[in-house]
Structure 1
Amino acid sequence: MVRCSNSLVGVLNFLTFLLSIPILGAGIWLSTRGTSECERFLEKPVIALGVFLMVVSLAGLIGACCGVTWLLWIYLFVMFLLIVLVFCFTIFAFVVTNKGAGQVVSGRGFKEYRLGDYSNWLQKRVTNTKNWNKIKSCLVDGKVCQTLQAKKEALALFNQENLSSIQSGCCKPPIECGLVYVSPTEWTGISNSNNSDCTTWSNSANALCYDCNSCKAGFLANIKRDWKKVAVVNIIFLIILIIVYSIGCCAFRNNRAEKAHSDPRWRP
């Protein structure tokens, strides 16, 4: 007789199997229809996630509902590794995003961002040219500065704008450069600042401050905010994983008990 825990594991893994189908489909769609570097960057991780969920859910489904003990054992082993990985990533996310915050600028509605304020690990990710070129491609394709480019507002109104961290870092030069405001994405004059971003800045719509350290810092500020949210979600996900793992252990014991009852060789 299949116990309640076996049925519950079967239902949960059936739902996970159904979830893996659209995830895998999305990865395949990105591989065939993706037009931007950003979309192609997501292709392999999405396909890998879809295949992983599909294989693991099938192992748990067959192992629990069909009494295949060795499959259920593999399922539990993978679940245990997943719990360890999620736990480690959650701790890691809190550690690497602990440092860094936007700098308040007097008389401005937005903050400015400095690369040196963030953890060394995050800094190394964005100062790597290969990594940053991919990120920059995503920012350009995402047209993060488009709304500002369309505005021709006066400086007083621009100073009150509630810019996102990426817009503040990538779409305008740092305030300390002392450049003359023409429009949100057009500035003129010669800077006396030693900040390298002041010479990196360009009025070209495809350049702006995408190669500035302030842009990299603004991107990291966005990553920090997102990772904090992900870490909280991971805690909830970790609790769910532990509950499912516990139910799976019960199902595994049920399989062993039924096997021992039907086959004397399995009895302790």
Structure 2
Amino acid sequence: MFRLSNNLVGILNIFSFLLSVPILGAGIWLARRADTDCEKFLEKPLIALGVFLMVVSIAGLVGACCGVSWLLWLYLLVMFLLILLLFAFTVFAFVVTNKGAGEVLSGKGYKEYKLGDYSNWLQKRVNSTKNWNRIKSCLIDSKVCEAYAKKYAKDTVVTDFYNEQLSALQSGCCKPPDSCNFTYVSPIVWNAGSTTTYTDSDCSAWGNDSNVLCYNCQSCKAGLLDNLKRDWKRVAILNIIILVILIIVYSVGCCAFRNNQEDNAFWKRRGYP
């Protein structure tokens, strides 16, 4: 009869194999149907994750339930490397998201965001023209500012708009910075007046076109980083839970590997190959 640890490893890998099927399917579907850069960006990671989960699950399942020690050893090696990588990423996520916060404005319901307040590593990622063009394409495709414009269309006077609780992306990408002193017309239409020189470069980057707005502004990059900061902190907390689970699974796998070694030694003593 199989040992308990072998059975547990087999059951866990059946679940991970079943999980890999829809992930791989979603990646293949996106590869065939993706129209935007944002969707195309997701297809390769999904396919890679699905294939990785499927291969590792098969190795663990066959190694534990069929007594194939070298497959189980390979499975444990991959698990060990995964634990190390996840631990390193969790520490890294806490470090790079430790800086940065929105600036509270007097008499305004929303905050404004400055790129220089965030970690240098994150700033370099969004200041890359190639990276930002892809991110900007995703923001436009996701219609962040279109939804914002519809939600606050009722604000016909600027005092009403100033009381709104805007998200970091809405504040950074869908309106000009308050320091520009533009004249409010609607949430996505602001008149610059006759002034042509600004102390803030975001003011000259603003455009009333729905595909321009403040997508080229430093404040938009900062708003994205503020969102990213919150998301990464949540992911880091989730990673800690996953790490604990992986360590438990790894420990059970080690027991299954030891069982395989003992079983092989038992049969060899009786003259079986």
Question: 1:145-156 counterparts in 2 under 5 A?
Answer: 145-150=145-150, 151-153=153-155, 154-156=157-159
What does 1:8-27 align with in structure 2 at a 5 Å threshold? 8-27=8-27
Q: CA contact under 8 A between 1:76 and 1:248: conserved in structure 2? A: yes
Backbone CA RMSD of aligned residues: 1.2
Q: By how many angstroms is 1:127 displaced?
A: 0.3
- Within the candidate set 259, 268, 271, 1:263 is matched to 268
Q: Match for residue 206 of structure 2?
A: 201
The residue aligned with 2:86 is: 86
- How much has 1:264 moved relative to structure 2? 3.1
Residue 240 of structure 1 aligns with which residue? 245
Query: Structure 1, unaligned stretches of length 5 or more?
Result: none
Amino acid of the residue matched to residue 188 of structure 2? T
- Aligned with 1:26: secondary structure? helix
Other-structure match for 2:165: 162
Counterpart in 2 of 1:45? 45
Matches within 5 A, 1:1-268: 1-150=1-150, 151-153=153-155, 154-188=157-191, 189=193, 190=195, 193-264=198-269
Secondary structure of the residue aligned to 1:263 is: helix
Code of the aligned partner of 1:185: I
Determine if contact 1:166/1:215 at 8 Å carries over to the other structure: yes
Identity between Structure 1 and Structure 2 (%):
66
Which residue type is aligned with residue 250 of structure 1?
A: C
Per-residue CA deviations over 1:6-33 (Å, capped at 9, x if unaligned) read 0000000000000000000000000000
Give CA-to-partner distance per residue, 1:83-119, whole Å, 9 cap, x none.
0000000000000000000000111111000000000
Q: Compare 183-192 and 124-133 and name the one that shifted more.
A: 183-192
SS in 2 for 1:145: helix
Flag the 1:77–1:180 CA change in 2: closer, same or farther, 3 A.
same
Q: Structure 1 stretches (4+) deviating beyond 6 angstroms? A: none
2:239 alignment partner AA: N
TM-score under structure 1 length normalisation: 0.97
Question: What CA distance in whole angstroms lies between the structure 2 residues aligned with 1:191 and 1:111?
Answer: 25
Looking at structure 2, the residues matched to 183 and 227 of structure 1 have their Cα atoms a distance apart, in angstroms, of 33
CA contact (8 A) 2:198 2:204 kept: no
Separation in structure 1 between the aligned mates of residue 160 and residue 261 of structure 2, nearest angstrom: 71
Give me the whole-angstrom Cα distance separating, in 1, the residues matched to 2:7 and 2:147: 52
Q: Is the contact made by 1:112 and 1:168 (CA closer than 8 Å) also made in structure 2?
A: yes
The Cα shift of 1:149 comes to: 2.3
Report the Cα offset of residue 35 of structure 1. Answer: 1.3
Deviation at 1:193, TM superposition (A): 3.4
**CA distance in 2: counterparts of 1:149 and 1:94, whole angstroms:** 34
Q: What residue identity is the alignment partner of 2:125? A: R
Taking structure 2 as the reference length, what is the TM-score of the superposition?
A: 0.95
- Conservation of the 8 A alpha-carbon contact between 2:140 and 2:211: yes
Structure 2: unaligned runs, 5 residues or longer? none
